[in-house]
Amino acid sequence: MVEVDNTILQKAQVWLNDNYDEETKKQIKNLIDNDPNELIESFYQDLEFGTGGLRGIMGVGTNRMNKYTVGMATQGLANYLKKMFANEKNIKVAIAYDSRNNSRYFAQITAEVFSANDINVYFFEDLRPTPVLSFAVRQLACQSGVVITASHNPKEYNGYKVYWNDGGQLISPHDVNIIKEVQKITKISDVKFNPVNENINLIGEDLDKIYVSKVKGLSLSPDSIKNQKNLKIVYSALHGSGVNLVPRCLKEYGFTNITTVREQDVSDGNFPTIKSPNPEESAALTLALEKAKSINADLVMATDPDADRVGVAVKNKNNKFILLNGNQTATLIVYYLINKWKTNNKLNGKEYIVKTIVTTELLKEIALKNKVECFDVLTGFKYIADIIKQNEGKKLFIGGGEESYGYLAGEFVRDKDAVISCCLIAETAAWAADKKKTLYELLIDIYAEFGYYKESLLSVTKKGKEGAEAIQKMMNDYRSNPPKSINNSEVIQINDYETQKEIYPQTGKVNIIDLPKSNVLQFFLSDKSKITIRPSGTEPKIKFYFGVREELPNKDMFNKANELSDKKINDIITAMNLK
C-alpha cells in the first residue's frame, strides 16, 4: 500500500471540511479510501497558474482542473483587472470555450465569478475557436478574455488561457503580476461564486458575421478562386470548434466542393475517432486522408480542438498524399501572401512578416528578396502578437507563423488562427492551380528559387531533479565553451537569448538582442545550418532544433537535396554527441 504524506492528507482534509460541494467531497473520500496514488497526484502541489494561465488534468484536488481551481484563478484575474482599470466604469471580459469535456462548465464558472466581481462578461453561446475569442476581445473593447481549452493535449486535460486588451496572450508585466494576484487567493472563501446574471451577456452570430467578413477581406485572389471553385477540399474539425466556421469561411471565399469528415464533425471531448487531437501527428489525419483518397481530393486540412492550428496534406508528383510540416505550410502561406501583395501593388516599404526563432529561415529569405521586413521573436505566438501591437499604425503586418502549425494574416486577430489559415491555404492552392501547379509543385518551385531548407526537432528527456540539473549543465557548457565548428562547418554567429547577446566569434563583434530574456542558444554555421537549443518550459526535456540548407539547381534534383539534408542533420546530431 502506498503511504500518503501527512501534508497531502491535511490538504485533502481542508476540502472535506470547507465549503466544497458534496460530490467533490464524495470523490475525495473515495481517493482517501481506495486510490492513494491518485490522491497524491491530486494534492501534492497546487495547479500552477503560469504565464499563459492554467493547464492540467481534470478532477478533484489542488493539482487538478476543477470548479475551485478555475474559480480561484478567475478571482485573482478579476482582482488584477480591477486594480489595473480602477478608473474604468465598465470592465469587460470575453469568454469562449472549445469541445473538451467540462469546457462549457468551466467557462460558466469563469463567467459567474467575473460577474460576481461586477465585471461585465461577453459569453459565447456555444463553442468557438480560440482566435475568435482573441477577435472578440478587440471587437468588443474588452480589458481581458479567457478561453477554456487545452489545445491538442489528451482528453483528460483542460486549460484556462488568458488574453489582454490587445487580443494577445499575456506577456510581461501582466503575466507575472496576474500570477502574483492568483497566488494571493489561498482559500475558497476568497472566491465570489454567486453570479450576478445581469452582468453576463450572451454573444454569437452577430459577432461571427463580423469575423467572417474580416476573414473574407483577407482574400487576395478572387479570380483564381472563381476559376478553381471546384477544388476538392477535405476538412476535419477533429471533434473540435472549427466545425462550423472553417467550412463557412471557405464557402464565403468561394469554394464550393468542401467535404467534411462526418464522424469528426461531432464535437466530443473524448475524441472517439483519434488517439490524439494533434494535427502535427499523422495519425490524427487518418480518416481525412481516407476520405480524400476515396473522392480523389486535391487538399486535406484538419484543425485542433480549439482551431488555432492546422495540419495539411497535399498530393506529390506521384499523386500520393503527403503531410506538410509546419515550416512547409508557413512557407507556402508567406510566399503566397508576399507575392500577391506585390502583384496587387500593396507593397510600399512599410510591410513586415513575423516568425519565431525556431521557424525556418526560408521565410526571412522570401521576405528580404521582396524588400519586406522580417521580425524574429521568441517561441510563442504571444510574441508575434506583441510585434503587431508595437507596430500598429506604423507598419502593416502581412502574415507570419511558427513551425508548430500556427499561422496568421491580418491584424484583427492576435493569435494563431486556423480558420484564416485554412482559407489562405485553399486560396494558395487555387492560385497555384491557375498556374497549372499543385501546392507540392509550388513548394518545389520555392525551393528551386531560394534553396532547399529542411528542419528537424530532437527532444532529449531527462526526468526528475537530476534530469533538470543535467539539462541546466548542458546549457551552461554550451554557453561557457561554445563549439568553434559543428560537423566541419564553422560557427559564425551565436545568439544567446539569456544574456541577450548576438556574438560573432571571428570578429569579436557583439550586438544586443532586443528580445525578452530566455534560456535559448542558437548556433549559425557557415554552411547556413542553424541549431537552436532550449529546455522545454512544460516537460523534462531539452529540445534541439536543426535547420539545414542545400542548393537545388533544378527541380529534378529535389530527392537528392532531400537525402543530403537528412544526412547533414544526422551528421550534426552525431557531431554534437546527441545519439
| Inter-residue contact 341 to 220 (CB < 8 Å) | yes
How far apart are alpha carbons 134 and 161 in whole angstroms? 11
Q: What is the largest CA-CA distance in the chain?
A: 74
Give the three cell numbers for residue 77. 484575474
Quick one: which of 311, 304, 315 has its CA closest to 328?
311
- H or E element at residue 534: strand 530-535
Give the CATH number for residue 215.
3.40.120.10
In a domain, 283, yes or no: yes
Q: Which residues of the chain have pLDDT under 70?
A: 1, 538
Where does a domain end: 146, 171, 203? 203
Where does a domain end: 170, 203, 236? 203
Which neighbouring-strand residues pair with 453? Answer: 549
**Are 324 and 387 in the same domain?**
yes
**Are 132 and 84 in the same domain?**
yes
Specify whether 151 is catalytic: yes
How does DSSP assign 346-398, residue by residue?
Answer: ---S-EEEEEETTS-THHHHHHHHTT-EEEEE-SSHHHHHHHHHHHTTTSEEE
DSSP 8-state assignment for residue 555: G
Give the pLDDT confidence score for residue 465 in this predicted structure.
79
- H or E element at residue 7: helix 6-17
**Are 361 and 280 in the same domain?**
yes
**Are 338 and 231 in the same domain?**
yes
Quick one: which of 232, 281, 241 has its CA closest to 96?
241
Where does a domain end: 398, 433, 450? 450
Q: Quick one: angle between helices 362-369 and 326-343, nearest 10?
A: 10
Quick one: which of 567, 518, 515 has its CA closest to 546?
567
Residue numbers of the domain that contains 185: 45-203
Give the CATH number for residue 513.
3.30.310
Give the pLDDT confidence score for residue 538 in this predicted structure.
65
**Are 442 and 456 in the same domain?**
no
Give me the catalytic one of 151, 404, 421, 518.
151
CB atoms within 10 A of CB 213: 11
In a domain, 37, yes or no: no
**Are 527 and 479 in the same domain?**
yes
Quick one: which of 232, 266, 247 has its CA closest to 439?
232
| Inter-residue contact 276 to 152 (CB < 8 Å) | yes
**Are 304 and 444 in the same domain?**
yes
Give the pLDDT confidence score for residue 557 in this predicted structure.
94
State whether residue 8 is helix, strand or coil: helix
In a domain, 25, yes or no: no
In a domain, 40, yes or no: no
- H or E element at residue 108: helix 103-116
Give the pLDDT confidence score for residue 73 in this predicted structure.
97
In a domain, 32, yes or no: no
CB atoms within 10 A of CB 355: 25
State whether residue 197 is helix, strand or coil: helix
**Are 238 and 373 in the same domain?**
yes
How far apart are alpha carbons 416 and 408 in whole angstroms? 5
Which neighbouring-strand residues pair with 501? Answer: 496, 512
How far apart are alpha carbons 132 and 298 in whole angstroms? 28
Number of domains comprising the chain: 3
Give the position of cell 474604468.
88
**Are 399 and 306 in the same domain?**
yes
**Are 217 and 289 in the same domain?**
yes
In the chain, % helix, strand, coil (3-state, to 5) comes to 40, 20, 35
**Are 230 and 143 in the same domain?**
no
Q: How far is CA 441 from CA 30, 226, 314, 548, in A?
A: 59, 21, 10, 21
In a domain, 361, yes or no: yes
Give the pLDDT confidence score for residue 1 in this predicted structure.
63
**Are 495 and 531 in the same domain?**
yes
